[in-house]
């Protein structure tokens, strides 16, 4: 890997910045290039194919040499960050909703639908872990487990990003310049994408829905907020992230009460 990276992009670069790193994957920024290193190349296969199919702006793929995928930096800044107030305009949030609708209206990708079947048993396991290990009060977990049930309903699959976090959507002014991290893309639940995009940013839900351009079930979106938070806390703690920071997953669960 080094023999490829050094002549291609590291010459004359003053800083290598770790964007994210844990046992499964890491992303480095080297100048204007992002290097994504993934232990599971099936995820990278999905990412490359999804970016080719998606009808929304994505980062330019510069090269791929497993386990590394090199992407050009996107213009602009992230729409927001979980746990921080977003400085993006209401129009930018609406544009993110419109881009999400464009993706959902596109032809389905060829790989299988993401099923909800495993979520119920996974929720049981994660909720038990949260209570048994005194991570969260039992009442908070039980109430959000009840709210999360509304997400587990039949749905018509669409082309979804799968991990449409607010930090994965880049904007320049009111324009969407690109969407990152497509490794979980596939046939999925449209409201899951909208929920992930607005997680921790409920004040912008109306802007996103206005840009999306059709009626959505806000109760199901809120159910996805609870479900995603309950499922994510264990993983976040084990991988060195803090879901207790203001505005993050634990606050999302508390706000549901």
Band (60; pLDDT cuts 50, 70, 90): very high
Matching CATH number, 74-116+153-216, of 3.40.50.720, 3.90.550.10, 3.90.1200.10, 3.40.50.20: 3.90.1200.10
Q: pLDDT digits over 23-49, tens only? A: 888 999 999 999 999 999 999 999 999
Give the per-residue pLDDT at 6. 38
Give the per-residue pLDDT at 110. 94
Give the per-residue pLDDT at 11. 54
Q: pLDDT digits over 95-115, tens only? A: 999 999 999 999 999 998 777
Rg of the chain in Å (alpha carbons): 18
Give the per-residue pLDDT at 115. 75
Q: Is the pLDDT of residue 207 over 60?
A: yes
Give the per-residue pLDDT at 7. 38
Give the per-residue pLDDT at 14. 65
Average pLDDT for 4-10: 44
Listed by start position, the domains of the chain span 74-116+153-216
Higher-pLDDT residue of 168 and 116 is 168
Give the per-residue pLDDT at 72. 97
């Amino acid at each position: 890997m080094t023999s490829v990276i050094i002549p291609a992009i590291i010459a004359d670069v003053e800083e290598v910045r770790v964007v994210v790193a844990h046992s499964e994957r890491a992303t480095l920024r080297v100048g204007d290039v992002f290097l994504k290193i993934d232990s599971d190349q099936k995820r990278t296969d999905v990412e490359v194919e999804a970016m080719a199919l998606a009808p929304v702006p994505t980062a330019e793929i510069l090269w791929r040499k497993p386990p590394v995928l090199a992407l050009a930096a996107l213009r602009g800044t992230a729409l927001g960050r979980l746990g921080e107030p977003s400085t993006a305009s209401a129009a930018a949030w609406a544009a993110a909703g419109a881009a999400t609708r464009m993706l959902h209206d596109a032809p389905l990708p060829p790989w299988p639908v993401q099923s909800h079947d495993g979520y119920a048993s996974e929720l049981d396991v994660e909720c038990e872990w949260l209570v048994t290990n005194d991570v969260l009060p039992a009442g908070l977990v039980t109430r959000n487990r009840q709210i999360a049930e509304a997400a587990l309903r039949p749905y018509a699959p669409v082309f979804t990003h799968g991990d449409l976090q607010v930090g994965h959507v880049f904007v320049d002014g009111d324009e969407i310049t690109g969407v990152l991290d497509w490794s979980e893309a596939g046939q999925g639940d449209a409201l899951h994408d909208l929920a992930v995009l607005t997680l921790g940013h409920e004040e912008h839900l109306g802007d996103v829905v206005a840009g999306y351009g059709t009626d959505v079930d806000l109760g199901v979106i809120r159910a996805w907020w609870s479900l995603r938070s309950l499922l994510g806390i264990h993983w976040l703690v084990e991988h060195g992230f803090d879901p207790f920071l203001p505005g993050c997953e634990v606050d999302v669960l508390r706000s549901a009460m």
